[in-house]
Structure 1
Amino acid sequence: MAAASLAVGFVVGVLSGLLGVGGGMFLVPIFKLGYLMDSLMCTATSLFTIIPTSISGAVSRIRNRTCVPKLGIAAGLGGAVTSPLGVWLATQSPDWAIMGTAALVIAYSATTMFRKALAVPKGPAFQKGGAGEGSSADGPIDVGRRQLLLFAGIGLVAGLASGYVGVGGGFIMVPMMISLAHLSMRYTSGTSLIAVMILAVPGVVTQAVLGNINWIAGIAVACGSVPGAMLGARLVPKVPERQLRFLFAGFLLVAAVMLVVNQFAAVA
């Protein structure tokens, strides 16, 4: 089981570092099917594993300058406010409601990302921003008060979802950042990782106090996800913008299907 945990963690970590998600969309069903945890423990353990994974990816992204730290911090602080509320709602909800909500929201985010990917013309769609805070396909990124408030609002939504379904919130933040802030996928995914790193903390503390975390399983998976996230972050410059968006959308669809199959298996 230890070897399997390391392997699962490594794959999830690569996807996290590359796409800017915490990996909880895969971890929740894996913990439920592979470790036979109840839904609440799955979400709690997933949320715990997300923190070291996202820290590893975020540090690499900051070094590679494929993120906008100020905006990531703003989103993370916004999410930290609502994450405990999401945890509380999860403790009041039946298993089917938690998993069903996660599947629906993830599927919606996937269709949004597919549309965004199709809108990107083939060929070079990303313009490097040099040593600055970052840039999108449309030019330099404005990191003024308006953008900070926008990203804090995005974080509020993501934090609620993060605490409720036990994921990092990147599955909501990435599509919202692209749609509302017009950030390129390369910078969006890195910025999302910084936010995930921050907003998951209050939810994990709350789950730990409630005694819902399976520490052994979480640490075992994290041992694989930390180096995986570092590798994923290094792969970002090698993948074109259009392919990154399609990859993210496909990742979301697979995660939604896994959650639905997992819920039907539990009912049966």
Structure 2
Amino acid sequence: MDTQLITSGLGMIVGLILALTGAGGGILSVPLLVFFLHLPMQAASPIGLLAVGLASGLGALIGLYRGIVRYRAAILMGISGMLAAPFGILLAQYIPNRPLLLGFAFILLYNATRTFRQSSPAPLKPDQLACALKKDDVHLNWTLRCMRKIAGIGFMSGLLSGLIGVGGGFVIIPSLTRHSQLDIRSIQATSLAVITLVSVSGVSAAALHGSLSWPVAIPFASGSIAGLLVGQMWANKMSPQTIKHLFAGVSLFAALMMLSKVAGISPV
């Protein structure tokens, strides 16, 4: 089968999962590129980041049109993440491929198990949350504690985005779910907006370092955009609980793919 067709198909899977979960496509992009196209992590990360960034940008625009993007939180996380992403890109060039694969896999395993455990958490009281809603149940109460938490989430998202090319949504979604009362669909849309901003910084740094393979990146990114458009048709029909379970399942699947790659198991 033509390599570009396979690459586009893999990108479509990423865009589809990204539309349904708001993050899962990002954590799946690098494993797919490593596992099926045999790319090293250092080459797969910026390609995955470019594809996820473009697809997320489209998803964020759709979210803005629907009025569910928390743009102030997205801007704060985005700025913090954009400052951190180049450091992640630089750091990735000095870490051997095998430890990077293992580290990514264990992060995904932790994320999956935590999400499964918290799929039906006991609701926290507003005073226990870093970013509680105001009395109107619409706007966030922007305290200093909330601003620090939001900025910290963005920084960690950006650092991991540059380091392993995952977009950062797998950090943003669980963190906002844990520290705020926001609806899961609003969190998803906000995550997509942050991923878009962070990806600009990470992809630019990768391009300047000459570590972005355009012949692979273009069909992969094109497929991810097509997949996101298809996925948007189903996203609104899924329950929040189903979305959380799907997100955890994708994390687990991606972790197993990475571990099998480290063990030398490959399907092609």
How far has the Cα of 1:191 moved from its partner?
0.8
How far has the Cα of 1:120 moved from its partner?
7.3
Name 1:12's counterpart in structure 2. Answer: 14
What is the RMSD computed on CA atoms of the aligned residues? 2.3
Amino acid in the other structure paired with 2:240: E
Residues 26 and 169, structure 2, Cα contact 8 Å, conserved in 1 = no
Residues 22 and 169, structure 1, Cα contact 8 Å, conserved in 2 = no
How far has the Cα of 1:178 moved from its partner?
0.5
TM-aligned CA distance change 1:211 to 1:55, over 3 Å: same
Amino acid in the other structure paired with 2:221: A
How far has the Cα of 1:217 moved from its partner?
0.9
More divergent stretch after superposition (109-118 vs 83-92): 109-118
Name 1:237's counterpart in structure 2. Answer: 236
1:77 equivalent in alignment to 2:84: no
* Among 96, 99, 102, the residue aligned to 2:101: 99
Residues 47 and 204, structure 1, Cα contact 8 Å, conserved in 2 = yes
Name 2:26's counterpart in structure 1. Answer: 24
How far has the Cα of 1:38 moved from its partner?
2.0
Name 1:126's counterpart in structure 2. Answer: none
Name 1:63's counterpart in structure 2. Answer: 65
3-state DSSP class of the match of 1:117? coil
TM-aligned CA distance change 1:207 to 1:111, over 3 Å: same
Residues 9 and 228, structure 1, Cα contact 8 Å, conserved in 2 = yes
TM-aligned CA distance change 1:218 to 1:158, over 3 Å: same
How far has the Cα of 1:6 moved from its partner?
2.2
Residues 35 and 258, structure 2, Cα contact 8 Å, conserved in 1 = no
Amino acid in the other structure paired with 1:114: F
1:160 equivalent in alignment to 2:162: no
How far has the Cα of 1:140 moved from its partner?
2.6
Q: Distance in 2 between matches of 1:67 and 1:157?
A: 20
Q: Distance in 2 between matches of 1:168 and 1:215?
A: 18
Name 1:127's counterpart in structure 2. Answer: none
**Cα deviation per residue 1:187-209 (whole Å; 9 max; x = unaligned)?**
11111110000012221111111
Residues 70 and 143, structure 1, Cα contact 8 Å, conserved in 2 = no
How far has the Cα of 1:245 moved from its partner?
1.0
Alignment gaps of 5+ in structure 1: 122-134
Query: Quick one: percent identity of the two aligned structures?
Result: 28
How far has the Cα of 1:93 moved from its partner?
0.5
Q: Distance in 2 between matches of 1:211 and 1:6?
A: 22
Q: How many pairs does the alignment contain? A: 253
How far has the Cα of 1:148 moved from its partner?
4.0
Structure 1 length-normalised TM: 0.86
* Among 140, 144, 152, the residue aligned to 2:142: 144
Residues 174 and 189, structure 1, Cα contact 8 Å, conserved in 2 = yes
Name 2:171's counterpart in structure 1. Answer: 172
More divergent stretch after superposition (142-151 vs 111-120): 142-151
1:184 equivalent in alignment to 2:170: no
1:226 equivalent in alignment to 2:228: no
How far has the Cα of 1:92 moved from its partner?
1.0
Amino acid in the other structure paired with 2:191: S
How far has the Cα of 1:143 moved from its partner?
5.3
3-state DSSP class of the match of 1:142? coil
Amino acid in the other structure paired with 1:144: W
Amino acid in the other structure paired with 1:142: L
Alignment gaps of 5+ in structure 2: 124-132
3-state DSSP class of the match of 1:119? coil
3-state DSSP class of the match of 1:265? coil
3-state DSSP class of the match of 1:24? helix
3-state DSSP class of the match of 1:205? helix
Name 1:129's counterpart in structure 2. Answer: none
Q: Distance in 2 between matches of 1:215 and 1:91?
A: 18
Q: Distance in 2 between matches of 1:115 and 1:194?
A: 27
